[in-house]
Amino acid sequence: MLVLTRKAGEGIVIGDDVTIKVIEMKGGGVRIGIDAPKSTKIYRQEIYDRITEENRMATQWDMDALNSLSTNLSTKKKDK
């Protein structure tokens, strides 16, 4: 991990198209501005972690529920 010290008004550049600038430091918090292409996804860490966890959970299949669903669909197909 690269650790940098920046003052308000200073920034860093990532690659050719992302700039992060310290806007202000107040009360133990830091406000930053991010200039990046619209196609670049930018998330707060806690939101990104939640999205990642929900995606991981969505890939977990309960085999009993899947078998039940399959049976129900087969039964409905035969009824038609």
The pLDDT, as a whole number, for residue 76 is 65
The pLDDT, as a whole number, for residue 4 is 93
In this structure, are 50 and 27 located in the same domain?
Answer: no
Per the structure, the count of domains in the chain is 2
Q: Is residue 69 in a domain? A: yes
Q: Is residue 80 in a domain? A: no
Q: Is residue 79 in a domain? A: no
**For the chain (length 80 residues), average pLDDT per consecutive 10?**
94 96 93 96 96 90 82 72
In this structure, are 47 and 31 located in the same domain?
Answer: no
Give residue 67's domain range. Answer: 43-74
In this structure, are 34 and 3 located in the same domain?
Answer: yes
In this structure, are 65 and 50 located in the same domain?
Answer: yes
Q: Helices in the chain by DSSP H: which ranges?
A: 45-58, 63-79
The pLDDT, as a whole number, for residue 54 is 93
In this structure, are 49 and 65 located in the same domain?
Answer: yes
